[in-house]
């Protein structure tokens, strides 16, 4: 049989080599896909482990909060107020913090009232002033109209329907800061911490460390905890005339937390009259922030809880999970 022509033989060799290269490329591609899939599955497994770990960290913080032996007094020296950090047997690390909502003034208080000496509207006006906002009237009225159920006010539904784009106010308590910033005159920048240049400056506070948004409906305003509240918050409750009395209270609680309101009121009868119906020595609402870390990933949980003042039982009001 005569040998094949040289051109045909070379073509066959080229085709054979191409087939080998193509097969090798397919094999590498399949190998890469298999590796990528394995890495994705491993990352998903780590993500799920972190989700379980951060949930357990948050729940452990709830157990510590519920186990408080004295529910009548809350202060920042108690076990629940300390950071809780753990390295688990599986190598993941967790951290959790319990934040006392009684340290702050609740924006949702504007939707309700009680028999306190001063009403939430006046308290928020003063508090915003002590936080550097010297013309807060319009913003406070807008927020109150945004929260209350009636249609009496300048910043009700008709006002928001004229905006571009139009929308309706919820006329209910707010559940998150994203709702708060939709109020006319309010902005996210107002919730950013302000640098504390002069600690003696009465108007150097910031809303980020003085206010909070507890996501729950209320029958009456949430009291402020005199054992944990800042100077700005106490000044907002009382007004400028009580500055000396507020400083006295802050000094006394550094020595020993107030066990009863009577102890504080004996120290300053004038302050007692200003704070009547607006304060307490313990707290009912708390925010738990938890994180879990491991293998380059992170999961977070933010949980708002209510602790029953009598039994210590914990009720979860809001549970938000996140990454990064």
* pLDDT at residue 323, as a whole number: 85
Beta strands, E only, 74-191? 84-87, 93-100, 105-106
For the whole model, what pTM was predicted?
0.85
* pLDDT at residue 46, as a whole number: 87
Torsion region of 286: left, alpha or beta (phi above 0 gives left; psi -120 to 50 gives alpha): beta
φ/ψ of 115, rounded to 5, equals -95, 20
* pLDDT at residue 25, as a whole number: 62
Tell me what the mean pLDDT of segment 249-268 comes to.
87
* pLDDT at residue 197, as a whole number: 77
More confident residue, 265 or 188: 188
Residue 15's CB: how many other CB atoms inside 10 A?
Answer: 10
The answer to whether residues 99 and 287 touch, using CB atoms and an 8 Å cutoff, is: yes
Q: pLDDT tens digit string along 198-246? A: 777 888 889 999 999 999 999 999 999 999 999 999 999 998 888 888 8
Torsion region of 5: left, alpha or beta (phi above 0 gives left; psi -120 to 50 gives alpha): beta
Annotated domain spans of the chain: 8-102+285-323, 106-277
* pLDDT at residue 18, as a whole number: 62
* pLDDT at residue 34, as a whole number: 65
Tell me what the mean pLDDT of segment 247-256 comes to.
90
Task: Tally the C-alpha atoms within 13 A of residue 206's C-alpha that lie toward its C-beta.
Answer: 14
* pLDDT at residue 33, as a whole number: 65
Q: pLDDT tens digit string along 20-67? A: 656 666 666 666 566 677 767 887 898 999 999 999 999 999 999 999
Q: pLDDT tens digit string along 173-194? A: 999 999 999 999 999 999 998 8
- Using pLDDT thresholds of 50, 70 and 90, give the confidence band for residue 294: very high
Residue 256 above 80 pLDDT?
A: yes
Domain 8-102+285-323 fold: 3.30.1300
Residue 115 above 60 pLDDT?
A: yes
> For residue 323, with 0-12 CB atoms within 10 Å meaning exposed, 13-18 middle and 19 or more buried, which class applies?
exposed
Torsion angle of alpha carbons 49, 51, 55, 58, nearest 10°?
110
Residue 103 DSSP symbol? G
Tell me what the mean pLDDT of segment 237-256 comes to.
88
């Amino acid at each position: 049989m005569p040998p094949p022509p040289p051109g045909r033989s070379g073509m066959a060799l080229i085709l054979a080599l191409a087939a080998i290269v193509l097969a090798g490329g397919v094999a590498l591609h399949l190998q890469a896909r298999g590796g990528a899939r394995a890495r994705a599955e491993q990352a998903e497994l780590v993500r799920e482990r972190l989700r379980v770990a951060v949930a357990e960290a948050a729940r452990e913080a709830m157990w510590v909060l519920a186990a408080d032996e004295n529910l009548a007094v809350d202060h920042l020296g108690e076990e629940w107020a300390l950071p809780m950090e753990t390295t688990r047997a599986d190598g993941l690390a967790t951290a959790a913090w319990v934040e006392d909502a009684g340290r702050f003034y609740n924006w949702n208080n504007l939707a309700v009232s009680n028999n306190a000496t001063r009403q939430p509207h006046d308290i928020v006006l003063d508090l915003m002033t002590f936080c550097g906002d010297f013309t807060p009237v319009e913003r406070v009225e807008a927020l109150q109209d945004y929260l209350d159920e009636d249609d009496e006010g300048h910043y009700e539904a008709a006002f928001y329907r004229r905006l571009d784009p139009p929308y309706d106010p919820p006329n209910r308590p707010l559940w998150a800061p994203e709702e708060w910033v939709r109020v006319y005159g309010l902005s996210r920048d107002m919730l950013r911490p302000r640098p504390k240049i002069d600690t003696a400056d009465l108007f150097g506070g910031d809303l980020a460390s003085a206010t909070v948004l507890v996501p729950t409906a209320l029958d009456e305003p949430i009291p402020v905890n005199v054992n944990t509240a800042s100077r700005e918050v106490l000044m907002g409750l009382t007004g400028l005339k009580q500055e000396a009395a507020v400083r006295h209270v802050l000094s006394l609680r550094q020595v020993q937390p107030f066990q009863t309101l009577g102890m504080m009121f004996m120290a300053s009868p004038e302050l007692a009259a200003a704070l009547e119906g607006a304060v307490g020595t313990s707290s009912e609402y708390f925010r738990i922030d938890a994180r879990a870390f491991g293998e380059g990933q992170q999961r977070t949980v933010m949980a708002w809880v209510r602790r029953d003042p009598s039994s210590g039982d914990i009720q979860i009001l809001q549970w938000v999970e996140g990454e990064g």
